Amino acid sequence: MTPTAPALPERTRILLDCDPGHDDAMAIVYAARRLDLVGITTVFGNTPLANTTRNALAVCELIGLDVPVAAGMAAPLVGAPASAAHIHGSTGLDGAVLPEPRRAPLAQHAVPFLIEQARAAPGELTLVAVGPLTNVAVALRTEPRLAGWLREIVLMGGSTDVGNITPQAEFNIHCDPEAASVVFAGGAPVRMVGLNVTRQAGIAQAHVDRLAAAGGRVGRAFAGLLGFYLARTRAVYRRDTAAMHDPCALLALTDPGLLRWQDTPVHVELASPALRGMTACDLRGLSDEARGLPGLAAPIAQVAVGIDGAAAVDRVIAELLACDR
C-alpha cells in the first residue's frame, strides 16, 4: 500500500505486537499509513492465537499491506489464556467478512523475529504493544540486551483509575500480569497508554455511519466491524461510545500533542486475588527521595494522564476513510 498521508518529520520505525480485535485492526491500518511499520507480531488475547494471526493477515489483505506477520505466544506465562469474545465476538473480528488472507504468517516465531528486528537497528525500533505482554516479556527474558536495542516500548494497557475486566484491572495486563511486570521492569523506556485515556477516545454511531456512507471497501468493512464493537460495548458496559484503545498508543508517536504524560512508578499487582493485574500508578508526584522509601520502589514509566479524545478518533477515522481514495 502507498500511504497518502503527509510525510511526518520523522516516520518512526515500529513493530506492532497485537491481538486483533477491533481496535487492533484500526491500529494496523493507522500504523501502516502513518508510521514505518516493519512487521506485525501476534499474541493470544481478545481471541485465541490462531484467530489473532488470521485476523492480522486479513486486515493486511483488506488494505493491501505487505509486511511480515509472525505468530507468537498462545498462552500467558502463568495460567490459561483469557478471551474477550463478549466484546470482539467468537472470531475476534465479528461484524464484517474480511477477505481471505492470501499470505501465511512467517515460519519464524514472533519472539526471535522481534529480537532480530531490534538488533538490526539498535536505538531505532519502537515496539508498540497493544495486546497481552507475553511476547514482549519472553523476548526480554530470552535476550536481555533487547531493552537497550529498543528506542522505547509504547503499550496500550493498564489504567490509572478503573479497569474493564475487574474494577481495577485492564484486559491486556490482566491477561498476563507476570509478563506486564517483566516489561515494566525490563529496562527499556516504557510509555503506558491506559484505559484512563483510551476510554475518552469514543467511537460513536456517527463515526460508524460516516464509514458506511463513504461507500468504499475499507470504509464499509470498518463500519461493520465498529458497529458490532459499539453494540457489544453498549450491551456490556452501558456506554454510548466504544473505546478506541489501541490506536491511542500510535497517536503517542504520530500526534504527541494529543496526549499529556506524567512520570510515575507503576506497580503491577500479582499477589492479591482481588487486585491481580491492576497497574497501581503513583500519581502523587513524590520526590526521588520519597520514591526510594521501602514499598515505593516500582519501576518508573511515562503514563498518559490526558488526551484530546475527539481529535484522536477523528484522526484515525480519517485514515480509515483515506484507504478508499
Q: Which residues bind Ca ion (CB under 5 A)?
A: 19, 21, 24, 130-131, 246
185 CB-contact burial (10 Å; exposed 0-12 / middle 13-18 / buried 19+) = middle
Decide if 240 is catalytic. Answer: no
In the list Ca ion, ligand BDR, none, the entry touching 163 (Cβ below 5 to 8 angstroms by class) is: none
For ligand BDR, give the closer residue by CB, 21 or 149. 21
Applying CB under 6 A, among 28, 84, 147, 211 the residue interacting with ligand BDR is 84
Q: Does 176 contact ligand BDR by CB under 6 A?
A: no
Residue whose Cβ sits closest to ligand BDR: 171
Q: Which of 19, 23, 246, 282 is catalytic?
A: 19
- The span from the CA of 39 to the CA of 16, in Å, is 7
DSSP string spanning 298-320?
PPEEEEEEEE-HHHHHHHHHHHH
Could you give phi then psi for residue 218, rounded to 5 degrees? -70, -40
Count residues contacting ligand BDR (CB under 6 A)?
16
Q: Which residues have a Cβ under 8 Å from the Cβ of 6 and sit 6 or more positions away?
A: none
Q: How far is the CB of 155 from ligand BDR (least distance, A)?
A: 9
- The span from the CA of 253 to the CA of 9, in Å, is 11
Q: Does 277 contact ligand BDR by CB under 6 A?
A: no
Contact 135, 128 (CB under 8 A): no
DSSP string spanning 25-37?
HHHHHHHHHHSEE
For Ca ion, give the closer residue by CB, 24 or 269. 24
In the complex, the residues that contact ligand BDR under the rule CB under 6 A are 21, 23-24, 46, 84, 87, 130-131, 156, 164, 170-172, 195, 245-246
**Residues identified as active-site:** 19
